[in-house]
Every structure is written in structure tokens, then in C-alpha cells.
Amino acid sequence: MALHRITKGLFKYALIIPLMMGMIACEDDSETSLKLAVGFEETSLELKEQASLPVKLPIRITGRNEVSGDVTISYEVQGAGWDSRLRDMNNGQVVLTEEQFVTYVELYSIDNAVLDDDAEFSVAITAVNNGSASLAIGGDYDSQSAMVKILNNDIEGQFNPCTQLGNQIFGSQKAMRFEDTAFGGTYSGDVVIDVEAPDNWDSEDKCTRLKLSGDLINYGGRDDSMEIVINEEDGTVEIPAQYLGEGSFGHIWIKSETPGTYNATEGTIEVKVLYVDSASASDTAETANFAYTATLIVG
């Protein structure tokens, strides 16, 4: 059920709120007109019936250039009877704020005993607002549509703890907490996330990208998510610099300070992370002052 896009042995996937990757497809028709490259990062996914959590299909803007305001992307789920098998949590429209480069189509699989076979549907981008927009011309994310396959899974009580889209792991009861929540200097602390290692972790179909959600930084009562990328070649893990959400003082950015390590057999990860809770709305991951550190331990 995993989907792999391999670049020189490194599985790279962008999850919730990563940075800009790829070059902008830009053509100025006037001083106020801009073309953005917008497309699906993954062009197919498989989802089991009776899955209790949503699967997210990422849509990326591959670049920005003097764009202000939100970008609204309209899409359409297509295929006869799709609404009896899928629940579209966004109702055909998603929005990227100025700080974001990725948003998601969220789909639930609906158990349907009437249909005994697998079913396939598609999701297509239909419009993008805020200036003139083209759909992912050039760059890596160049698909205007994606396929969704619902796997027949009518087994009483069955649930896969590694519900995947492009190797994301969706676990439950995840939490990431810093020992010290006081500000005013650099500090370090243990960060623990409770994620059940999937059965296929050390198989050919292993999960190679983690999507961790929960109280990732334990203040403000937020429910955020972040990305971890696993390098198959040298057994290291990295957290790409990414916007994590709103914190006590403003915008939170997070990234790994140095590559961490993982144990594929035990499903454990350890990586030192840097983060900042900045009052400056203009901060990006390149300009943010990553003043705080912590060690992230998964497993």
C-alpha cells in the first residue's frame, strides 16, 4: 500500500507545512499578474475501507513571487458513486495562507457493504485564485489530477495501524512535549512521540516518511503536524524546515539541526531539532532565529 518516488535512494516526501521546493513557473502578464505552479505531489493512493483516520492528498505551490494573501484551490472528486465510498472533508476547496506552500485534500473511506470490489476515483484541480495561476507547469509536482483507490476490506474489526499515503504513518495518541516551556534562552529537553511501529517497517514496503500529529509542541492547545524524511542509503533522518503553526508569540518554524538516526527493526527515531516561536509574521525558515533546541525520540 506504500507509494514510492525515489531520487538517488532518498525517499523525499513533503508532508504537513513544508517549505518551498522546486522552481516557480512564472510568467508576468502585468505588474499585478502572476502564474503559480500548483499540482498534486502524489498522483495515486490506496485507502482501506473502515480506516478510522483521514488520508491527505497534498497539493503544492512550487513557488511564490510577490504573492500576498491567501491562495484558494478548487478541486473535484470524480467517478460514479464516489460520494458513497469517500467523504470529502474540504468540500471541494482548500486554502493556502501566505506562510504555506502545501495544503491537503482530506478524504475518509466510507465502509460500504454493497460494493464488494475495489473502486477507483480521481481528484482533479479545477481552479486556483489570487492572480493568474497555471497548474504545476515545470517542476516536480506537475499533475493536475490524482487517482484514489479504495481497497475492499470487509473484515470485522480490522484496522491497519500504518494507514498510508505515500508512506505517511498515521498513528494515534501522539504527543510531543518539551520538559521546559519557559522562554528566554536556549534549552534542551526530551521529546517523546508515541507512535506504533508498523508491521511493514522493515519490509520492502516499509514506511519511509512519518507524518506526526498531536500536541507537537505542548502549549496553546494546538493540534499540529510535521514531516520527517528517512534516507534509505545511510539510515539517517531529517526534519525539513517547515512552518508548524501559531505559537504563544507568533509563527513556529521547526527543522532538524543535524541528521538523526533510526532503527528500522525497532522503528525508533532520534533527531535533534531546532524551533522558534517568533513574533515576526515576516519570518521564513531561512530568516527565523531558531533559538530553542530539543531531542525528538520516536518509538
Query: 152 falls in which pLDDT band (50, 70, 90)?
Result: low
Is residue 165 a part of any domain in this protein?
no
Task: Identify whether residues 200 and 288 lie together within a single domain.
Answer: yes
* Number of compact structural domains in the chain: 2
pLDDT in tens, 74-103: 999 998 878 877 778 888 999 888 777 788
* Ranges 67-76, 149-158, 184-193, most confident: 67-76
Same domain for 31 and 138?
Answer: yes
At 156, is the pLDDT very low, low, confident or very high (cuts 50, 70, 90)?
very low
How far does CA 126 lie from the centroid of its chain? 21
Judge whether 103 lies within some domain.
yes
One domain for residues 205 and 136 = no
- Asked, for residue 257, whether it belongs to a domain, the answer is yes
Residue range 51-65, pLDDT digits in tens: 545 667 888 877 665
Which residue, of 104, 124, 151, is where some domain finishes? 151
Same domain, 290 and 207: yes
Return the percentage of the chain with pLDDT > 90, whole number.
2
What mean pLDDT value characterizes the chain?
60
Q: Which domain holds residue 222?
A: 190-298
The CATH code of the domain that includes 77 is 2.60.40.2030
Final residue before a domain boundary, out of 151, 170, 204 = 151
> Would residue 177 count as lying in a domain?
no
Are residues 125 and 256 located together in one domain of the fold? Answer: no
Residue 158 inside a domain? The answer is: no
Domain shared by 137 and 223, yes or no: no
Q: Is residue 142 in a domain?
A: yes
Burial (Cβ within 10 Å: 0-12, 13-18, ≥19) of residue 186: exposed
Query: Do both 282 and 203 map to the same domain?
Result: yes
138 and 17 in a single domain? The answer is yes
Whole-prediction pTM: 0.42
Query: Which of 93, 126, 151 lies at the terminal end of a domain, its last residue?
Result: 151
Q: Which residue has the higher pLDDT, 290 or 33?
A: 290
Q: Are 135 and 213 found together in one domain?
A: no
Per-residue confidence (pLDDT) for residue 93, from 0 to 100: 92
Least confident of 22-26, 40-44, 115-119, 243-247: 22-26
pLDDT in tens, 176-206: 333 333 333 333 444 444 344 444 444 444 4
Same domain, 234 and 98: no
| In-domain check, residue 59 | yes
Does residue 37 belong to any structural domain of this protein?
yes
Tell me the pLDDT tens digit for each residue of 40-50: 877 877 766 55
Same domain, yes or no, for 17 and 134? yes
| C-alpha to C-alpha distance for 124 and 136, rounded to whole angstroms | 12
> Is residue 13 domain-shared with residue 102, that is, in the same domain?
yes
